Structure 1
C-alpha cells in the first residue's frame, strides 16, 4: 500500500545578522569604528600641519634646533643626509615649512573625506619615510641610546596606522587584522611593544635620573597647573629610574604578549594597559608634545600609540565567510 503523501517542509531560512559593529564595512560616510579611527588619524595629521605654521618654524633657528634632535648620537651615514636637509630648510625656511604644512594638511583632509580616504592614506605612506629618515633620524633607533619615550618615532607610527586602517570590507578579529590578516597584525603588535620593552630595559634608560630628567624637561613654558603636576612627578621619580624602568619594561612585555592571548578579556586588558602606558608617556615624558613653547612639530608618539592600541580592540566574533541566506525546499516522501 502506498504511503500517504506528506506536505512539503517549509523552506528553512537562516538570516545573517547585519554587521554594524567593529567588523562592519566602510560604506562611505557611515561612522563605523574603523571610520572613527580614520578620522582621529586625519585629525592628528591636520594638527601636524597646523603646528608647522607656528611663527618659530619660519625662522632660520628652527632647522638647527628642530633637526638637531635627530642628530643626537646619529651615525655618520645618517647624520650626513640630515645635515644636508637641515641646510636646505635653513636657507629656505618659509617655502620649506609652507610646503610641509600643506602636504600634511592635504593628507589629513584627504583621509577625512570618504571619497579620498585611500588617496590620503597612500600619500601618508609616501610622505612618512622622508619624515622618519630626515626629520626624526629613524626615531633615534640608530643612536647610541634610543629611548622608549620617543622611539620608534611618530612618523613610522603614522605609516603603521595608514596600513592598519586601509579601507576594506572583510571581517577580522580586530580592525588591525582586517586588511593585513591576523598573523601579520599580531607580529606588528609584538614588534612595536616588544621594541619599547627592550628599550626600557637598556642601562641608559634605567639610570637613577632617567625618568626625573625626562619629566623635568617639559616644565619650560607649561601652564602653572601642569608645572605643578610635573614638579611632583619629578620629585617622586628622582633616584628611582631603575625601579621605574624595570616596571615600565615589564608592563610593555605584558602588552606585547597580550595579543597572543586566546581570551578576548585578556586581549582587551592588553589594549587598555597599552593606552594607559601611552597616556603616561605622553603626559609625563613627552610634555603633551611640548606645544607650550611654540616649537612642537607634532603631538609626539603618545597619541599615536594609543590609536594603534584602539585599532587592536577585539571585535565581536566575525560572521563566517560561508554564512549565507539558505533556502531549501526539500520534499519528503518516496515512492513505495
Structure 2
C-alpha cells in the first residue's frame, strides 16, 4: 500500500530535521567542555545548564549527572551523537525498505527520549511556567510523537484517522498554549516578561536584518504588554477553536504556517542556529510538519480525502 502525502511529508521532514540536527551538533563548540560546563567561565550561560533552571530538584540532579558524564569525554560523546542523528536522518530520507525506515524510527524514539530528559528537562513540563515560546513540550518530544505516528499502520493514514488525530492534537496543543499564555503566573501581562522573552531572541548572534524587527517588537510589547499578550492569547485561542471544530481549510493552513514562521523568528530566533550553540531548530518546525502532514495537497484534509504521493525518490 502506498504512503499518503501526510506520511511522506512527516517522514522526509523529520529525516531532514534529524540530518540538520546532526550537522548542528558537529559545530566546534560542541566538542569542548565549555558548552557542557555546569559553571561556564564566560558570560554566555551553558544551554544545558540553563535547561535545569526552574526544574524539580530530582530532575535537575539527574540532568546535572548527565552533563557531568558528557563533559568527561565531550569529543567521544559528541561524535556519537552526530553519527546517530545523521544516521537517523539518512534512514528516513533514503531508506529503501519499510523495515529499514522502521528501525530508524525506533532508534529516533529512544534517542529522542534521552534528549528530552537530559537535554531538555522534559521540555519544561515540570517547570514553573511552560510556554510556547520556550519550545514546550520540547523538540525531542515532538520528534518522538512524529515517529510514533509514522509507525502507525498505513490503513490509519489512508482512512484519515491519523490526520484527524493530528488535527485534534494540534487543537489541544493550541488550547493549552493559550491557557499558559494567559495565566497570571506566566508574567506575560506585565512589562517585563513578554519583552524579555523576545529580547532574548534578539540578543543572540545573528544577522542584523533578523534581529532588528525583533528589537522593534520588544519596544512595542514593553510599552503595551497587556494589549500584546491579549492579542497573542487570542491568536492561540482562535487556532485551537478552528482545529478542534474541524474547520481546517486552505486559508487556515496558510495562516497557521505564517503564525508558525513569525513565532519561530520572533520568539525562538530560529532555534538559535546562528549563535553557534543551537543544537536543533526548536519545536516550531516540527509543529509545522504536523500541520502539513494533516493536509491534503489536493485541497482538503487527508481525513476527508486521502492522497498518495506519486513522486518517489530514486
User: Which of the five TM-score ranges fits, normalised by the shorter chain?
Assistant: 0.7 to 0.9
Alignment of 1:309-328 (within 5 A): 309-313=291-295, 314-315=301-302, 317-318=304-305
Q: Distance in 2 between matches of 1:259 and 1:228?
A: 33
Question: TM-score with structure 1 length normalisation?
Answer: 0.77
Q: Larger deviation: 42-51 or 194-203?
A: 194-203
TM-score, normalized by length of structure 2?
Answer: 0.82
Which of residues 41, 45, 55 is equivalent to 2:14? Answer: 41
Aligned pairs for 1:1-336 within 5 A: 25-26=2-3, 32-63=5-36, 64=38, 65-114=46-95, 115=97, 116-150=100-134, 151-166=136-151, 168-170=153-155, 172=157, 177-178=161-162, 182=164, 184-203=165-184, 204-218=187-201, 219-263=203-247, 265=249, 268-313=250-295, 314-315=301-302, 317-318=304-305
Alignment RMSD, CA only? 2.4
CA drift of 1:284 comes to 0.6
Cα shift readout 1:207-249 (whole Å, capped 9, x = no counterpart): 2233322222233321121132222222232233332222222
Larger radius of gyration: 1
Q: Is the 8 A contact 1:275 1:305 kept in 2?
A: no
Question: CA offset at residue 195 of structure 1?
Answer: 2.0
How far has the Cα of 1:302 moved from its partner? 1.7
Q: Once the 2 structures are TM-superposed, how far is the Cα of residue 85 of structure 1 from its aligned partner?
A: 0.3
Unaligned 5+ residue runs, structure 2? Answer: 39-45, 296-300, 307-314
Q: Which residue of 2 aligns with 1:332?
A: none
SS in 2 for 1:71: coil
Greater Cα shift, 238-247 or 166-175: 166-175
Distance 1:206 1:120 in 2: 44
CA distance in 1, matches of 2:116, 2:228: 28
**Where is the helix percentage greater, Structure 1 or Structure 2?**
2
